[in-house]
Chains A and B, each alone.
Chain A
Amino acid sequence: MKPMRIGILSFAHLHAESYAALLKTMSDVEVIGIADDNAARGRYFADQYRVPLFADTHDLLAQRPDAVIVTSENAYHLPLVTAAAQAGAHVLCEKPLATTPADARALIQACHAAGVQLMTAYPMRFSTPAVEVKTMLMSGRLGKVIGVNATNQGALPEFHQAENLDFLGRGWFVDAALAGGGAVTDHAVHLADLLRWLLVSEVTEVYAATNRVLHQDRVTVETGGLLLLTFADGTFASIDCSWSKPAYYPTWGGLTMEIVGEQSLATMDAFKQTMTVYSGRTGRGALAYWGSDANAAMLREFVDAARANRPPAVTGEDGLRAVEIVAAAYESAATGQPVRVG
């Protein structure tokens, strides 16, 4: 089987690192190279993953890749995805799909017009605990779901980056112009998408309360956020998307759900599959994750869908729905009242 030739457009998003490492392990994939508007960052990762570095996006696309992964700043998804689609490449785009619903629609349209497949990178759909919850819900054993209390909290994104690697330029997560916003943009989309998928229902109304108490001297975007979503079938769900985990928290954060059904309670802690390792090298305990890698399953689906030229399990429209929910959340936070969606 001919390998899928895949390029990576930008390492602005730290997820590019895990995608690159995983793609290198896939026997039916060839990473043709990376392009990055930050030359130092591009060189750093080209060396790390031993792949070619292209001077710019168009040089990479001139190699006619079968597919690309777009992991730039959120605001640059639209131009990069559009360029890739016009070059005939299938696209896996990092979440959130765009910073505005208008951009997300334009990006979907560009892929549609070019006849390429577009997948939004929602790895949680491939998380094995989440898949188990989906299976249980579909079996009917939980009964009708009444409500869901969910969290996707994390540390301030700046903390994800080692201090001596400032040149990687990951500060954009807290820049509203490049990211689209703060904690709501960064974290609410995972659960918004997961809930739509699990409940098989669309969000009709969004209420949100946000604040900037955490890291108030450090950033200008919202760092605390609580959303309450109402779905077409009457189910309601809250999302805590706050950057409320301290820098010294044992993990980056986590994703949890309490699903209350008419006759049941189901709880999920998606990153609970950890052990505690006490090492004399550090003189302290640390959590080590041993669960399955959702990113690997997501990339498998992307490659398979691209090869078959079929719509992937998570589409551009799924990405748009979450962007619409985020936009409604910001409007609600500004007005203090729930906002209709769709």
Chain B
Amino acid sequence: MLRVGIIGTGTMGNTHAEGWAHTPATLSGFYSLDADRAQTLADQFGGRAYATLDALLNDVDVVDICAPTDRHHDLILAAAAAGKAIVCEKPLARTYAQARAAVEACEAAGVPLLVAHVVRFFPQYAHAHAVVSRGDIGRVAVVRLTRCSFQPQLGEGNWFLDPARSGGMMLDLMIHDFDYARWVAGEVVSVYARGVRATTPAAATDYALAILTHADGAISNIEGGWAYPPPLFRTALEIAGDDGLIEQPAEGSAPLAFHFKQTAGGAAPSVGLPLSPLAESPYTTQIRHFYEVLVNGAPSRVTARDGLAAVRIALAAIQSAQSGRAVRIEEINS
């Protein structure tokens, strides 16, 4: 029986626990710097609240890292040294050097490193990728991806808004679509980006546009933002090929709308998640896939090298927005 321990008990720790609960794996427990929160999740999902990282490592087969981004590197290295299989929330690490070191450590230790680029498991994104892979729209020419919501609202110590910890919106949020663009249009060779926080770090909102040039000639327009009025969260996808076109506009496929005479009084959630009613949450689909990879050796839909490449594109976008120059991907090495 596969035993799983989750590190980090924020929104993603909770979401991953929900996913593991839908697999045959045993959720051994949680470790968090916030011990009360770890206990709350243990009470909810079963398992223990570990007092130390070592206690968790000694008790599991799989370490699922949902801690803030700047902690990923150290946690991956510790888990790899302990010979544990690893699931890690995106982005793989805060810097390219850390991400590369993490990948190399796992390869040297012979442990799987599965990066949770969950967008690859959202049905519309997975379906569009399958359509492209089948050749149904021909060769990919122009990709357009949008992902915008409001600033994560976590009160005191909001690590999302601290670029030193999260890398900022481009590394935390836009990386979803950087990864997806690379998945459907191939390796990225050059990135140009404009972002409001690159020039105004204290801005109350964050918004960026990036243009990617892919090795095979495709070009991508990526829009990302923590700029919308809450609780608005919009995503959009468009892929133009030389023999067809896929369109998934932001306002295109909502099967439901609720209208109220007055505001129901509910505050916006602390971190926006894009949801459409589905038989299974894409987060659960992802965890079930990882379970199959770890237990039955199925090929992983997303590899450690994919996670590494996505970090590199995001860092190139950040560097471009700061320098005002287009950045070749090989310029990013640290």
A-side residues, CB < 8 A to B, are 146-147, 149, 151, 153, 205, 207, 209-216, 223-226, 228, 230, 234, 236-238, 240, 242, 244-246, 249, 258, 260, 262-265, 267, 336-338
Contact = CB atoms under 8 A, between A and B. Distances in A.
Given A226-B221, A263-B229, A265-B229, A337 B325 contact: yes
A224 B192 contact: no
Contact of B221 (A212, A215, A240): A240
Interface stretch (B86-94, B202-210, B253-261): B202-210
Interface majority SS (helix, strand, loop, mixed), chain A: strand
B229 A214 contact: no
A244 B148 contact: no
B240 to A, nearest CB: 3
A105 to B, nearest CB: 28
B140 A213 contact: yes
Contact of A149 (B141, B146, B217): B146
A207 B211 contact: yes
Contacts of B208: 147
Given A211-B142, A338-B324, 7 more contacts: A146-B207, A149-B209, A214-B142, A249-B245, A262-B227, A267-B250, A338-B325
Contact of B141 (A211, A230, A249, A337): A211
B48 interface: no
26 contacts: A146-B207, A146-B227, A147-B196, A147-B207, A147-B208, A205-B324, A207-B192, A210-B219, A211-B141, A213-B218, A214-B141, A214-B240, A223-B141, A225-B219, A226-B219, A226-B221, A228-B194, A234-B199, A238-B211, A240-B142, A240-B221, A244-B245, A249-B245, A265-B228, A336-B190, A336-B326
Contact of A260 (B148, B211, B250, B251): B148
A66 B141 CA distance: 46
B29 interface: no
Given A213-B218, A245-B245, A226 B146 contact: no
A234 B197 CA distance: 12
8 tightest A-B contacts by CB? A244-B240, A213-B141, A236-B194, A209-B219, A238-B209, A149-B223, A224-B142, A146-B207
A168 to B, nearest CB: 26
A263 B204 CA distance: 9
A209 B240 contact: no
Interface of B: 139-142, 144, 146, 148, 190, 192-194, 196, 199, 203-205, 207-209, 211, 213, 217-221, 223, 225, 227-229, 232, 234, 240-242, 244-245, 250-251, 324-326
Given A238-B209, A238-B211, A265-B229, A258 B217 contact: no
B131 to A, nearest CB: 14
Contacts of B204: 262
Interface majority SS (helix, strand, loop, mixed), chain B: strand
Given A149-B221, A215-B242, A244-B240, A209 B205 contact: no
A244 B207 contact: no
Contacts of B325: 337-338
A244 B324 CA distance: 28
B88 to A, nearest CB: 30
Given A226-B219, A242-B141, A245-B245, A260 B227 contact: yes
Contact of A224 (B141, B207, B251): B141
A340 to B, nearest CB: 10
Contact of B211 (A205, A209, A215, A246): A209
Contacts of A234: 199
B221 A214 contact: no
A262 B324 CA distance: 22
A303 B89 CA distance: 62
A238 B218 CA distance: 17
A224 B241 CA distance: 10
Contacts of A245: 240, 245
A213 B229 contact: no
A205 B213 CA distance: 19
B194 A213 contact: no
Residue of B146, B190, B221 ringed by the most chain A CB atoms within 10 A: B221
B221 A146 contact: no
Contact of B240 (A147, A224, A230, A236): A224
Contact of A226 (B142, B227, B324): B142
Contacts of A225: 219
A213 B242 contact: yes
Contacts of A228: 192-194, 209, 211
Residue of B194, B199, B205, B218 ringed by the most chain A CB atoms within 10 A: B194
A212 to B, nearest CB: 8
A246 B239 CA distance: 12
Contacts of A240: 142, 144, 221
Contact of B192 (A146, A216, A242, A338): A338
Nearest to B251: A267
A262 B200 CA distance: 13
Contacts of B244: 246
Nearest to B210: A228
A62 to B, nearest CB: 48
Given A226-B219, A244-B141, A146 B205 contact: yes
A216 B243 CA distance: 11
B213 A209 contact: yes
Nearest to B244: A246
Contacts of B228: 260, 265
Given A228-B194, A228-B209, A211 B144 contact: no
A147 B209 contact: yes
A246 B240 CA distance: 9
A265 to B, nearest CB: 5
Nearest to A211: B217
A317 B192 CA distance: 29
